[in-house]
Amino acid sequence: MTMNDLAVKICEALQKGEYKAGEILPNAAFLAKEYGVGVKFAREGIGDLVYEGVVERVPGRVRRVRVRAPYLWDLVAGNHSFTGEAKRRGQKPGNRVLTFEKRPAWPQVARRLKLEEGDEVNVMERLLLADDHPVGLEYSYMPSRFYAGVTREMFEGGKSTFAVMETFGHVSASAVDELASAALEPREARILGLDPGVPVLIRFRVTLNPEGTPIKGSRAIYLFSPGYSVDI
């Protein structure tokens, strides 16, 4: 994608502090007049800024955009290990358990974890924190047949999920990720202190043991952009 010249000028204005984080950007007609370009060109420039992650669409019927406030973590590289990323940045990783329940696995989870109809999973929802600042939500799905007797208390106080898994004899060897984007729903927006409709990254990870058996699933809602490294 080639950056529209108007988009470049707006980026320069942002660097100069002419527009602040969270501020509504003027509409295309105003920007067209301000910079002496056509309205269509201005709209395309705004679109470029959306794709670049500089501005974001404001949920609602009116097509407004605002300057995107930077998340605590804007780009995370590697295997997206939350604990590892926090430590790499010199921050203290933490989490807070919000809900914990046992229930029959629904079709999407059963399929991913290769469970039989009626098999149960322990579902845990946690708020992920770095230096006590929210960076995401994570939902863990642990097949009950692998974790007999597991309780919420085992995970309280910011304990590592993998450490608890190992106490049940389950060692992680690899994982398969599915990535998607979504608009933040009202409940999760309230927990994270954001507006409903804000775009977020969704990652569903299936963790496998050395034999290739799924031993845990997790769905994470992240407030950052993912990246990865590869040897070439």
137 assigned to some structural domain: yes
Q: Which of 14, 46, 67 lies at the terminal end of a domain, its last residue?
A: 67
Give, for all 232 residues of the chain, the pLDDT tens digit. 566 889 889 988 988 889 998 899 999 999 999 999 999 999 999 988 888 778 888 877 677 888 987 777 877 776 667 788 888 889 999 999 999 999 999 989 999 999 998 899 999 999 999 999 998 999 999 999 999 999 999 999 888 898 999 999 999 999 999 888 888 888 999 999 888 888 788 889 999 999 999 999 999 988 877 777 767 7
Residues 120 and 40 in one domain: no
Residues 119 and 157 in one domain: yes
Residues 138 and 178 in one domain: yes
Both tokens of residue 168? Answer: 């049940």
3-state secondary structure of 2: coil
Domain count along the chain: 2
Is residue 41 within 8 Å of 4, Cβ to Cβ?
yes
What CATH number is associated with residue 204?
Answer: 3.40.1410.10
232 assigned to some structural domain: no
Residues 53 and 89 in one domain: no
134 assigned to some structural domain: yes
Residues 35 and 62 in one domain: yes
Q: Which of 13, 35, 67 lies at the terminal end of a domain, its last residue?
A: 67
Q: Which of 39, 67, 95 lies at the terminal end of a domain, its last residue?
A: 67
Residues 143 and 55 in one domain: no
Both tokens of residue 187? Answer: 């409940």
Residues for the chain: how many in total? 232
Residues 134 and 177 in one domain: yes
Residues 192 and 140 in one domain: yes
Cα–Cα distance measured from residue 58 to residue 22, given in angstroms and rounded to the nearest whole number: 10
231 assigned to some structural domain: no
What CATH number is associated with residue 29?
Answer: 1.10.10.10
Residues 58 and 88 in one domain: no
Cα–Cα distance measured from residue 43 to residue 48, given in angstroms and rounded to the nearest whole number: 9
Residues 190 and 97 in one domain: yes
184 assigned to some structural domain: yes
- SS3 string, 76-107, reads ECCCCCHHHHHHHCCCCEEEEEEEEEEEECCH
pLDDT value of residue 80: 67
Residues 99 and 131 in one domain: yes
pLDDT value of residue 160: 86
pTM score, two decimals? 0.78
Residues 143 and 32 in one domain: no
Q: How far is CA 183 from the centre of its chain?
A: 11
190 assigned to some structural domain: yes
Residue 101 belongs to what domain range? 75-226
